[in-house]
Amino acid sequence: MLAASASMLLGSAPAAAKDVVKIAFIGPLTGGVSAIGLGGRNSAELAVRLRNADPKAKYTYQLVTQDDECRPNVGVQVATKVAADRNIVAGVTHFCSAVAMGTVGVYSRFGMPAVVWGAVLPDITYANNFKEVHRVNGTMINQSEVAAKFVTGQGYKKWAVIHDTTDYGKGHNKYFSEYLKKDGGTIVGTFGVTAEQQDFTTELTKIRELKPDVIYFGGLTPLGVRIRTQMDKLGIKAQFQGTSGVMSDAYIQGVGPELAEGSLAFLEGAPLEKLPGGKLFSEQYQQQKFGEPPEAYGPFAFAATNLIIDAVEKVGPDRKKVRDVLNATKDADTVIGKVTFDDHRQNIVPLVTKYVVDGGKWVIWEDSAYASGKKKLAGL
């Protein structure tokens, strides 16, 4: 079920005497990637509000929100708190891969179903066989394959790789480097940096001497902002290529529209505006007057919440039964398209979308001035 009808009056009182079912949302609500976390939280809240406005709903739903700060130790603490609360039937969990990796064992141990809405490290679903852990978004394997093929196809030959030294950054480095070499690209240098690092003069000075065509960055928005800004100060004119980790309005705001122009990023799934439920989601989100945009991963959080609610509607607020329904998900209609979980409860995402900053906003590559030839990427 995508959502309640757009014509339904949100905020109308639910039918009396419905039992309350609690669903957790966990994401980075403070810190450098809080924009993504707040968009995810709002989107999960939208799913709850829409279902509570549906007179056919068997239960009244309540979202219990926790901030993982994009920090593994904090994530484990809040995951344990949520999973230990038997009044919470399931969770919509995590954008940051390092946090998601640290918490999967918690959800398994407490038997609480969790649906990851943003973290892309493959090991979250594939390193173990935790039947409680699901994921609606794709993985960095999908991203890396498309990214390498696309950017080599633009005619670039030489890359310098900068990645953060978390599992997230190391994973992006591993998979992108493998696909890039397969597609004929050459890596002239690889540089690991800490997620908290502020000054990149040493790394970028070496990169300037190596004269790459492209700087590939595997990390999240705050680090990407610092690196892109310092590239400019050192006079580095290479093309900037990021991952879904920089797919945020905060990246454009952080570096400024002029420096952000032409930056590339890749995101699993079809673009929201091209999906059957995308227009309806956007309209409903705007009607709720949330203080923040949904950002790139909001629709995934919305889909994850609805999958959990659908399972509860089917079998009641029983963790084991909800888990079993989620495990059997096949061709479920959601705002992000059809969702089917494989044998490790990973959504089979058939598409990765290419994005470029064009005129101060992220634009689908095919719809951009770059694709039409009116603008050129750096060095082409």
**Do 238 and 124 share a domain, yes or no?**
no
pLDDT tens-place string over residues 66-94: 999 999 999 999 999 999 999 999 999 99
At residue 189, φ and ψ (nearest 5 deg) are: -175, 145
Establish if 3 belongs to a structural domain.
no
Q: Say whether both 151 and 115 belong to one domain.
A: no
377 in a domain, yes or no? Answer: no
Give pLDDT tens digits for 242-294: 999 999 999 999 999 999 999 999 998 888 888 878 999 999 999 999 999 99
CATH code, 84: 3.40.50.2300
Q: What pLDDT sits at residue 276?
A: 79
Same domain for 199 and 291? no
> Of 5-14, 258-267, 312-321, 333-342, which gets the smallest average pLDDT?
5-14
239 and 363 part of one domain: yes
Residue 256 CB neighbours (<10 A): 14
**CA distance to 10, 30, 259, 353, 357, per residue, from 367 (Å):** 34, 33, 20, 12, 11
User: Is the domain of 109 the same as that of 42?
Assistant: yes
Averaged pLDDT, 22-39: 97
* Together in a domain, 47 and 75: yes
- CA-wise closest residue to 222 among 33, 5, 17: 33
**Residue 256 shares a structural domain with residue 282:** no
Contacts of 314 (CB under 8 A, 6+ apart): 325
- The pLDDT, as a whole number, for residue 113 is 98
Residue 372 token pair: 């039409």
Q: Which amino acid is at 147?
A: A
Q: Is 357 part of any domain?
A: yes
The CA distance from 212 to 192, in Å, is 17
Indicate the helix (H) or strand (E) that contains 314.
Answer: helix 298-315
Percentage of the chain beyond pLDDT 70 is 96
CB within 8 A of 365, min separation 6: which ones? 150, 353, 354, 355, 356, 371
Looking at residue 16, what is its pLDDT?
A: 60
Q: Which structural domain, as residue segments, surrounds residue 85?
A: 20-138+271-349
Is 145 found in the same domain as 134? Answer: no
Is position 12 within any domain?
Answer: no
Looking up tokens 């039409």 gives 372
In a domain, 8, yes or no: no
145 within some domain: yes
Task: Write down the pLDDT at residue 9.
Answer: 44
Shared domain for 224 and 93, answered yes or no, is no
Within this chain, do residues 89 and 156 fall inside the same structural domain, yes or no? no
Is residue 15, in this structure, part of any structural domain at all? no
Question: Within a domain: residue 119?
Answer: yes
**DSSP class per residue in 355-370:** EEE-SSSEEEGGGSTT
Quick one: 126 and 150 in the same domain?
A: no
Angle among Cα 102, 191, 144 to the nearest 5 degrees reads 65
- What is the per-residue DSSP string for 147-164? HHHHHHHTT--EEEEEEE
Return the higher-pLDDT residue of 236 and 12.
Answer: 236
Q: Are 122 and 141 in contact (CB under 8 A)?
A: yes
Strand 133-135 vs strand 158-164: parallel, antiparallel, or unpaired? Answer: unpaired
Domain total in the chain: 2
* pLDDT on residue 351: 87
Whether residue 4 is predicted with pLDDT greater than 60 in this model: the reply is no
Order of strands, edge to edge, in the sheet holding 88-93? 60-67, 20-27, 88-93, 114-116, 133-135
Average pLDDT over residues 225-241: 98
Average pLDDT, rounded, for the chain: 94
Answer yes or no: do 231 and 106 share one domain: no
Q: What are phi and psi of 21, to 5 degrees?
A: -115, 125
Tell me the per-residue pLDDT of 5-29, one tens digit each, with 9 for 90 and over. 444 445 545 446 799 999 999 999 9
